[in-house]
Amino acid sequence: MGAAKQTRFVFVTGGVVSSLGKGVAAASLGALFEARGYRVAMQKLDPYINVDAGTMNPFQHGEVFVTDDGAETDLDLGHYERFTHVRMTRRSNYTAGRIYESVIRRERRGDYLGATVQVIPHITDAIKEAILGIAEDGPDVAIVEIGGTVGDIESLPFLEAIRQLRFDLGEDRTCYVHLTLVPYIAAAGELKTKPTQHSVQKLREIGIAPDVLVCRCEREIPRAQRDKIALFCNVPRERVIEARDVPLIYALPLRLREEGFGSAVLAKLGLADPEPDLSIWRDFCARVEKADKHVRIAMVGKYVELADAYKSVHEALVHGGAANGAKVEILYVDAERLEREDAARVLQDAHGILVPGGFGLRGAAGKMAAIRYAREHHVPFLGICLGMQLAVIEFARHVAGMPDATSSEFDPQAKEPVIALMTEWERDGIRIRRAPGDDLGGTMRLGAYPCRLKPGTRAHAAYGRDEVRERHRHRYEFHPGYRERLERAGLVIAGESPDGELVEIIELADHPWFVACQFHPEFLSRPYAPHPLFRDFVAAALERAHA
């Protein structure tokens, strides 16, 4: 549609309760715009004081999603990338902490010339600057999601900023979309609209009148209730959108298209509304629905009580299953359980075993028990990040004859640190050249890095290429001082950095499918383009299921 036209902005807010699905709704709107040929940009504004999501507990916040440029972000950015073709960047996620940090830094430099620094205008101006920054590349529409729930104190500066942007940009370049809950009260046998009315009332008190309402509900909203919502919330009836629960989140763009969501927003923005091409979503949903095979994958982690802690891994398995005509049943296994119980008994029903990323010693022994079971019983295995590091340790201990093998993350005084910080490699007399931007203190390797694949390996066969780029989030690496010894014992180095200094993928040749990678392949998996490692892992598990 061309970048010459001024970018329109859609602001997505939420009310009543958290976890209503603002992220998926915003992502679906992006998909509906792309299906009409518009170019979109997407952004999440989070009101918490953390500078980024990197240090937040997965139990509270879910997974940390990593972008190509190394930003540690909210998991909603994963939804944005899976539903659209947009690659997120550092500009795609701002927190209150990051905004306040930038303002304080400016104040310390004297940029405000002695003015009293206040929420208005200094904080709100910084928020508006961040929002307008995603339009620098000239997208047709920028979709900006405001985290939290209307009424939260910490959200107020963000809401004030988007209120001001209507005055700055004009009525025809802005659209406010508000997501609310329409609960069903079983005892009364009816849906209740009062929570939505109160949520809109609270938003209007702040100075924002929603242009489109998206009503999350369990069942169809009768016409009378829709009319009531429209009347009391002062929103045209055709802009009251029903967002009923769907069995598969990738069906949401189709459902919202039927409800006229995209058309309502386009009408408000004064943009053309061509017929959308939603074939990729119809095709994917059809593949999932028609899948006639079944496979069980055991995911062994320490945050399994909250599925969102492994959201991208979960979705990548769904993508891999659809590519193989299979429904994937994920068995979430607490790693600490495998420290108390026999792994063979707990994992005996799994056709494949996956150990995802993580940090710290807790649960490591249980994860290694799962890895050992997969290796010894020829169960297809995929290890990710820490999952690869533990696979190396398990192999070193039980195959290469190195009982003291461990990671210096677990034991800083380790005798055999097969996994270590790069600074420790140098202390061992091994000189390693760091990639540009790597922190000298051994902090995280974040973002996309190239990986050269070894011909003849399963990884090379999966990708069908000699070199790929994958996203990383870790501090510890395969210690090169042990590489030759482990290779002699049968460990296959299937992928490495182009300079050969960093090990990226390991395999076992005498195993049906045993692959582990230092990076996070789940971040690049899409419903319309499943990640090759997940696709082939599920395929190997299917072979075992139907053997």
Q: According to the model, what pLDDT value does residue 433 have?
A: 45
Name 436's Cβ contacts closer than 8 Å, sequence gap at least 6: none
Categorize the per-residue pLDDT at 56 as very low, low, confident or very high, splitting at 50, 70 and 90. confident
Active site residue 522: yes
Residue among 215, 285, 385, 451 flagged as catalytic: 385
One domain, residues 123 and 255: yes
- 306 in a domain, yes or no? yes
Supply the CATH number for residue 477's domain: 3.40.50.880
259 three-class SS: helix
Kindly tell me if the per-residue pLDDT of 437 is higher than 60. Answer: no
Q: According to the model, what pLDDT value does residue 431 have?
A: 52
One domain, residues 260 and 301: no
Least Cα distance to 281 among 303, 261, 254 occurs for 254
- 455 in a domain, yes or no? yes
Active site residue 531: no
233, 256, 282 — which closes off a domain?
282
258, 282, 306 — which closes off a domain?
282
The residues facing 10 across adjacent strands are 143, 175
What is the per-residue pLDDT across 254-277, written as a single tens digit (0 to 9) for each? 999 999 999 999 999 999 999 999
Check if the beta carbon of residue 417 is closer than 8 Å to that of residue 408: yes
Kindly tell me if the per-residue pLDDT of 439 is higher than 60. Answer: no
One domain, residues 70 and 211: yes
What is the per-residue pLDDT across 393-434, written as a single tens digit (0 to 9) for each? 999 999 999 999 999 999 988 899 999 987 776 666 655 544
One domain, residues 373 and 224: no
One domain, residues 259 and 303: no
Distance CA 492, CA 450 (A): 19
Q: According to the model, what pLDDT value does residue 39 have?
A: 97
Q: Higher pLDDT residue, 112 or 33?
A: 33
Kindly tell me if the per-residue pLDDT of 371 is higher than 80. Answer: yes
Cis? peptide before 121, omega within 30° of 0: yes
Residue among 242, 517, 522, 531 flagged as catalytic: 522
Q: According to the model, what pLDDT value does residue 303 have?
A: 85
Distance CA 375, CA 371 (A): 6
In the chain, pLDDT over 90 holds for what percent of residues?
Answer: 81
One domain, residues 268 and 296: no
One domain, residues 277 and 305: no
Least Cα distance to 34 among 213, 255, 279, 216 occurs for 279
One domain, residues 367 and 395: yes
What is the per-residue pLDDT across 186-241, written as a single tens digit (0 to 9) for each? 888 888 999 999 999 999 999 999 999 999 998 899 999 999 999 999 999 999 99
Q: Which domain holds residue 204?
A: 8-282
Mean pLDDT, to the nearest integer, of 120-146?
95
What is the per-residue pLDDT across 152-164, written as a single tens digit (0 to 9) for each? 899 999 999 999 9
- 287 in a domain, yes or no? no
248, 263, 282 — which closes off a domain?
282
Average pLDDT over the chain reads 92
- 3 in a domain, yes or no? no
- 103 in a domain, yes or no? yes
Q: Give how many domains the chain has, as a whole number.
A: 2
One domain, residues 404 and 327: yes
Mean pLDDT, to the nearest integer, of 132-142?
94
Neighbours of 512 (CB within 10 A): 15
One domain, residues 375 and 420: yes
Q: According to the model, what pLDDT value does residue 387 have?
A: 97
Q: Higher pLDDT residue, 475 or 521?
A: 521
One domain, residues 80 and 117: yes
One domain, residues 252 and 395: no
